Amino acid sequence: MHVHVIRAEGEAKFWLEPEIELARNYGLSRSQLKEAEEIVEEHQNEFRAAWREHFGS
C-alpha cells in the first residue's frame, strides 16, 4: 500500500504499511519531502480507506 506525491519539481513514493516510509524520491528537496510526509501522515487513514476501496484488500 503506497501513495505518490507529485509536484512540478519531482515525485516521491511513500509506503503506508507497515508504517509510513519514503520508498523513492525523484527530485524533491528535503523540505519538500518533509512537507509531503506530514501530509501523508495527516491523511493516512483516508489513503488506506481509498486503497482498500479501489483494490479490495
In a domain, 45, yes or no: yes
- Kindly indicate the confidence band of residue 2, based on its pLDDT and cuts at 50, 70 and 90: very high
For the segment 29-38, what is each residue's pLDDT rounded down to a tens digit?
999 999 999 9
In a domain, 19, yes or no: no
In a domain, 38, yes or no: yes
* Range of the structural domain that residue 36 is part of: 1-12+29-57
57 pLDDT higher than 90? no
What residues pair up with 10 in beta bridges, in sequence order? 7
In a domain, 35, yes or no: yes
Give me the pLDDT at residue 42, please: 98
In a domain, 24, yes or no: no
Report DSSP letters for the chain, one per residue: -EEEEEETTEEEEEE-SSS-EEEEEES--HHHHHHHHHHHHHTHHHHHHHHHHHH--
Give me the pLDDT at residue 46, please: 97
Looking at the structure of the chain, the number of domains it has is: 1
For the segment 3-31, what is each residue's pLDDT rounded down to a tens digit?
999 999 999 999 999 999 999 999 999 99
In a domain, 17, yes or no: no
